[in-house]
Structure 1
């Protein structure tokens, strides 16, 4: 799916950490100055992992007394993964911990930090060179960890052998292990994974891998309690056909006719679906890459040729500037880079990572089985989507939610959507059964948190608190 290569489109980990029962070497903490930047250095005696970070840079988080740490977690030899941690503004010593991943594959989580749910943001059209405070930041009541993975992405440093979603999981798990070693006060907290877009692949696989490691009693137990994915890409068999149905019937305006809808469904069933079925039967790179090309040829490319609007927000022209991308220039400022301890030029999205994922056909692989397994483990799962997004639209996300196999499947899939209100005003539609919820957010594009920040904060906090997302 070629659109992911520019915005959204993860890693074989060749070093094993030993957690054998023996007397562990002692941990070491020190301060190191490099090029005028003072790093706090933590060396984990048991694993050899190293964490280097700058404390309280004063960048982004503007609330007095709220701690932040930015720097690198070693996940292999010369493989340093960038993280930016923001303490909860309220009750940080007891607040849960959540990790945010952007998708791509191969795109930086600084996108989410600065454009969606971080402590600071840029105002549209203000032409400011500095961000302002985000009242609806997700670290209001939750400790937030933003991660650039894999190491070619964002501020991360190194060259990995990343080729697919599955090969990403060991890196992410070991990063969390290293974070717990350096900041042990967080390792007993409830933990959540939140993501968007290609994160539909990432989150399901990362969550299942974490649970497998927990079961194997490898490393520190990660108390995964919540999973949230907005406008996610989960399953091509459901979501490729959803392009056709969304194009004909969405919340705003159709851009194909009924006759065209019928024609595209025929092409999907004759040329795209058989290749997708083969990909998910054999799992071979060749079959999955072939399916990716087939679906692009008969569904995506013809539909794109009719689009005269932004595929991430169909209400707007393709050249619109929302959300504002001032952060890209901001992260080129040498003083900002020095303050946060960044060691390299910022790369928003890695074309090399995208190329590798395309080569393995990763996009065509379904992650509904992994999502179903995680949901069946009784963690709280939220699948949500802005109604103006085309690229990972709500039609497809709802189809995925209805297909999740868990104990509440039959009741969930049969339920109608109900009004979702915020402060008494309807802002969308939702349904919940047991620990699974679906939410369609009105007047929101792909980056839901930018368009509906108050709603987004509310459903995030409720999901992290393992409660129902129902409106007020």
Structure 2
């Protein structure tokens, strides 16, 4: 519910200088956390009249640890007072959401070898208020400590951030909310959305104090959702993709009949059941499948796992990494209010989460629960991507248990067009949508910004993909 004037008066707003940067501070009454932010830094989004906030959620977790979670908010370029609020999270696990901001769909990007950003005409803040968050702690500009050792334990910290954001900026309370993510976001998306909904129920029951998150949509592109299913897709993609055949028919049959289905990969997952399997069983399953299926195909071919048309040497050059150099500039760091050295995908947070077997766990069940709850869901994938390929995403959606599952499974893919130009194939039934995007790698909006913006806009509008 909206903040009352009396409740708002109990909160504190003040200015504070840290290492030469002056922040606006918002601290909720009785909370051990506060929101620090710089307003309108002039970095990245330079569209006149568009407000930005960047800074930290600062939280005292216990006597020995403090969390500083970085966020960057961009107001919608059009109708910001009514546009939805969208949270973007990159995957990894342990990769910064500045990837999505600068390389994919943020207000600015780096083009034609420039060392300075320019406005992105296909930015998602054309239609939504965009919020980019670096999590878990240690990723991007976030620093300090937290107890997030898995997807499940990370969900609460993001929820706590959103509660502070709503309190500091009450105009976004009760606003339509969407969560979009990619890659390891195939874990984050279903679990975080499910957690938000459970917290909403607890708030309604009076057992939790907080603001309801009005979740209307979940989008996951090239997501790692159900490893057991998606490992089976590696030989399918390797043989059948239309760009770069990686294995012969005989090899394909060997992988399908022996390595995946019966002898190695699928049986290994018997001990890693959903979220209940032991850490060791899940670690063993992931390692077994990688050794049996994924690694041999990668080692036998010279290709970029994020774009099979490119050689392996291009994995760190396309999209451009110029943005990371830009974010190391002292003037930029000071302007946006960052207090740490930028780390795109540091090994520490990754290792902490992977050590619990999290990577091998399935999030098919929470995804199905989110679909069944009525939230509009888009599972989409660029068809140049190997690592989380579209065949695997299709296996995932065709195995989701929800009320319209039979209709969805029976449907064939049809062309998805933008102004009459084909950009992929899709199908939809009820509130579940699947989209294969042509000639797009792992970061779909970078490769196909027009298609991506249309799909994004449609999910926020009525939650159903349709050709134009």
TM-score under structure 2 length normalisation: 0.94
RMSD: 1.5
Q: CA deviation at 1:33?
A: 2.3
Matching of residues 65-84 of structure 1 within 5 Å: 65-77=49-61, 78-84=66-72
Match of 2:332 in 1: 336
Does the 8 A contact of 2:416 with 2:467 survive in 1? yes
How many Å separate the matches in 1 of 2:346 and 2:179?
A: 22
2:119 equivalent among 133, 143, 157: 133
Does the 8 A contact of 2:32 with 2:59 survive in 1? no
Match of 1:115 in 2: 103
Matching of residues 361-376 of structure 1 within 5 Å: 361-376=357-372
Matching of residues 147-226 of structure 1 within 5 Å: 147-217=133-203, 218=208, 219-226=210-217
Matching of residues 33-432 of structure 1 within 5 Å: 33-77=17-61, 78-123=66-111, 126-217=112-203, 218=208, 219-265=210-256, 266-268=258-260, 269-280=262-273, 282-320=276-314, 321-432=317-428
Does the 8 A contact of 1:97 with 1:192 survive in 2? yes
Q: CA deviation at 1:76?
A: 3.7
How many Å separate the matches in 1 of 2:84 and 2:174?
A: 9
Number of corresponding residues:
450
How many Å separate the matches in 2 of 1:277 and 1:307?
A: 30
Does the 8 A contact of 2:155 with 2:191 survive in 1? yes
Deviation sequence 1:321-341 (CA, Å, 0-9, x none)? 221110010010000000000
Does the 8 A contact of 2:244 with 2:309 survive in 1? no
Q: Which stretch of structure 1 is more off in the superposition, 416-425 or 457-466?
A: 457-466
Does the 8 A contact of 1:429 with 1:441 survive in 2? yes
How many Å separate the matches in 2 of 1:247 and 1:264?
A: 10
Q: CA deviation at 1:48?
A: 3.4
How many Å separate the matches in 1 of 2:17 and 2:59?
A: 22
**What are the ranges of 5 or more consecutive residues in structure 1 without an aligned counterpart?**
1-21
How many Å separate the matches in 2 of 1:74 and 1:345?
A: 17
Does the 8 A contact of 1:24 with 1:46 survive in 2? no
How many Å separate the matches in 2 of 1:370 and 1:46?
A: 33
Does the 8 A contact of 2:217 with 2:463 survive in 1? no
1:445 equivalent among 441, 445, 448: 441
Does the 8 A contact of 1:311 with 1:391 survive in 2? yes
Q: Which stretch of structure 1 is more off in the superposition, 338-347 or 258-267?
A: 258-267
